[in-house]
Structure 1
């Protein structure tokens, strides 16, 4: 079987942006609610976009607009302090594009946050289709976003693999009937283990690239 389409999650999969997300959310909740959350508590809020997380959990609802703008201001301002350039990821994407593989992203991030990170990480030009949390009614583990990527790329479940770092990624992939891979190849990832077993688990980018290189055309 040949994978003609590869869909990636973004945070914790293509960019080590989770520490930045934690930093910005903590700052927002501390400023407007005087509330402190741990990283694990913030992960439990994941699913909606950053705007949705703030809307769902901010106690001082009248400060929502200010809180959202603070989040994105910090996210862009502090991006380079938290997120390093990853040559392994960039080489992988270059290789896949060279091989003529269609590349998609399905992320729970907002379009605004994705635009900041994909631009500052130098990754935005690699993707044929990007579906963000703003463009779905049902976040992962619902397969809606993956099905949209598949439709826009003219792909089938048999031709696609979905690669992500969270349990929700694997569950979404299973529900979309695509091959799934759980990855721990960046320093920070969302799920320490996968209760729903993916088809593959990789801890280094080269494990995927070498496997892909060895597949029969």
Structure 2
């Protein structure tokens, strides 16, 4: 079921305090960039490119988990060396692309007092990526796998709730993977699936432009004091 303005008004009777975003596959169309990164590492080790199943795995997991998964055990002692041969910031980050309509949606949330955070299984590149694309000012806090237990563990979401000092019924988590869904459900916060209809979610989102349009209507409803029940 798609997200609507009236769903927002009825689902969050005390107001929507904040939105937590996954990074890869939500904020950025970064799948191709990530595939290039891991395939370059494999190439440095004299290995062939990833299989389709391996591509799906690395899209969701931490870099450490991903390298262990795609590199044969006999070569694990060379993982650190191979990783250093790829300049992620220069060779990979420039090929990442923010999702269409994302910046406009983030600005709308900011201008209406809705907080934003990132919860990602990236480790040490998230802040740099946000800086490169001039997004750092939108997000606080930024939870990475180097700061909290990686998803699907709910620690990252719980840390966001602590930082914002708000209830679990006042935020939503936007993600595109099973790990995102599991983290949100474990933290007992509403989960919105981004462009992945196979996930169990309260609502599904196709793109940020249509999402922004619904939020414009939602903020208008709040301003007028009107709302109506939504079906769950």
Q: Is 2:21 the counterpart of 1:17? A: no
Matches within 5 A, 1:1-217: 1=12, 2-32=15-45, 34-45=47-58, 47-59=60-72, 60-71=75-86, 73-80=87-94, 82-86=95-99, 88-110=101-123, 112-137=124-149, 139-184=150-195, 192-195=196-199, 197-215=200-218, 216-217=221-222
Structure 2 alignment gaps of length 5 or more: 1-11, 223-232
1:49 and 1:134 in contact (8 A); partners too: no
Return the alpha-carbon distance in structure 1 between the equivalents of residues 212 and 71 of structure 2: 42
Return the alpha-carbon distance in structure 1 between the equivalents of residues 21 and 202 of structure 2: 15
- What SS is found at the alignment partner of 2:81? helix
Return the alpha-carbon distance in structure 1 between the equivalents of residues 140 and 93 of structure 2: 24
Deviations 1:121-174 (A, max 9, x none): 22122102100011123x222212111111122121100100011122122111
Instruction: State which structure, 1 or 2, has the greater radius of gyration over its C-alpha atoms.
Output: 2
- What SS is found at the alignment partner of 1:134? coil
1:21 and 1:75 in contact (8 A); partners too: no
Question: Following TM superposition, by how much is the alpha carbon of 1:40 offset from its aligned partner in structure 2, in angstroms?
Answer: 3.2
Aligned length: 205
2:21 and 2:174 in contact (8 A); partners too: yes
RMSD: 2.1
Question: Following TM superposition, by how much is the alpha carbon of 1:181 offset from its aligned partner in structure 2, in angstroms?
Answer: 0.7
1:24 and 1:75 in contact (8 A); partners too: no
Question: Following TM superposition, by how much is the alpha carbon of 1:4 offset from its aligned partner in structure 2, in angstroms?
Answer: 0.6
